């Protein structure tokens, strides 16, 4: 495996971990907005908005990861086909 492919795989792995963690933390923040009594100064609408933003960002990163990984797989298969010919 070349250095470029290794770097790209590492970047995709980091992106996937970030997408999943953002989506999970966003969902936790949305649930926390409904369950936590108002002991602090943070209004539940702020927690809900922040949770929705994180969930949306995680979903966008996850979709981007999906298409990048499919493109990388297609490129790898095309290179394998060209080498076989």
pLDDT at 39: 59
Q: Residue 65: give the domain boundaries.
A: 3-84
Q: Is 7 exposed, middle or buried (0-12, 13-18, 19+ CB in 10 A)?
A: exposed
Could you tell me the maximum CA-CA distance found in the chain, to the nearest angstrom? 68
Range from 23-27, 39-43, 69-73 carrying the lowest mean pLDDT = 39-43
Distance (Å, whole) CA 83 – CA 19: 35
78 — alpha (psi -120 to 50), left (phi > 0) or beta? alpha
State the helix-helix crossing angle for 3-35 and 44-84, rounded to 10 degrees.
Answer: 160
Where does the pLDDT of residue 14 fall: very low under 50, low under 70, confident under 90, or very high at 90 and above? confident
High-pLDDT (> 70) share of the chain, % = 88
Number of domains in the chain: 1
Higher per-residue pLDDT: 1 or 67? 67
Reported pTM: 0.57
Digit-coded pLDDT (tens) for 66-81:
888 888 888 777 777 7
């Amino acid at each position: 495996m070349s250095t470029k492919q290794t770097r790209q795989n590492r970047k995709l792995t980091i992106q996937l971990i970030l997408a999943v963690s953002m989506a999970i933390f966003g969902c936790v923040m949305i649930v926390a907005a409904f369950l936590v009594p108002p002991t602090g100064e943070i209004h539940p609408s702020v927690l809900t908005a922040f949770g929705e933003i994180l969930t949306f960002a995680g979903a966008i990163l996850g979709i981007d990861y999906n298409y990048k990984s499919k493109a990388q797989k297609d490129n790898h298969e095309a290179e394998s086909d060209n080498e076989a010919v």
